Homo-oligomer: A and B are copies of this chain.
Amino acid sequence: MASPEIEALTQALAKLPGLGPRSARRAVLHLLKKREAALGPLLSALMAVEERLSTCSICGNIDTTNPCGVCADPRRDARALCVVEEVADLWALDRSRLFPGRFHVLGGRLSALEGVRPEDLAIDSLVRRIAEGGIDEVVLAMNATLEGQTTAHYIIERIERFPVRITQLAHGLPVGGELDYLDEGTLAQALRARRPVG
């Protein structure tokens, strides 16, 4: 019996990962009761993000600037490039502060089942970045899934003609595990033990 506006807010929140209908209702109630302390800040933050949101034209990261904060950071080692499936993976690796280089987001993984072909991913732009030179090492950080590994092999075929060292995250990753769910220790281990391929 909530008003249409409150109902719409509850439904928008209920669609967020980690929130169901029940916790969305509790979150809405919290927002309504704490108008100044909770609703206001959330609204301002959402407006600021919505206004500035863009996809980085270099790496595919999502940020409030373009180029993104990672690509624009001069302290980053431009000679090391880490290729990930999703923005979430970039964020997870970036949070770990273990990789000093830059990133390239594919936007998914090859999948015969889901009909995802090479041209559906940011693979051509990856090849162009490598062809431009200045990159010594390409770290393939695909998920340890069949599709992730198929994608890695396809990329190796596309880039092995360039004078770069191609490495891959060590398979200390649990089979079927997805990067952005892993704890930092596992990530650190996998990154430290990365090995050359191709």
Residues of A within 8 A of B (CB): 1-6, 8-9, 11-13, 15-19, 23, 25-27, 29-33, 35, 38-50, 52-53, 62-65, 69-70, 73, 87-88, 91, 94-95, 97, 180
| Beta-carbon contact of B3 and A30 below 8 Å | no
| Beta-carbon contact of A29 and B94 below 8 Å | no
Given contacts A5-B52, A69-B1, A94-B1, contact A18 B27 (CB under 8 A): yes
| Beta-carbon contact of A50 and B45 below 8 Å | no
Q: How far is the CA of A57 from the CA of B168 in the complex (A)?
A: 64
Q: How many copies of this protein are present in the complex?
A: 2
A26: contacting residue among B18, B39, B62, CB under 8 A: B18
Least CB distance, A159 to chain B, in whole angstroms = 26
| Beta-carbon contact of A6 and B63 below 8 Å | yes
Given contacts A12-B42, A41-B12, A47-B43, contact A17 B3 (CB under 8 A): no
Given contacts A17-B27, A87-B33, contact A49 B12 (CB under 8 A): no
A45: contacting residue among B8, B38, B63, CB under 8 A: B8
| Beta-carbon contact of B53 and A32 below 8 Å | yes
Q: How far is the CA of A30 from the CA of B14 in the complex (A)?
A: 12
A-B contact pairs, 11 of them (CB 8 A): A1-B69, A1-B94, A5-B45, A9-B42, A16-B31, A17-B26, A18-B19, A18-B27, A19-B23, A32-B53, A32-B87
| Beta-carbon contact of B39 and A46 below 8 Å | yes
Q: How far is the CA of A70 from the CA of B43 in the complex (A)?
A: 27
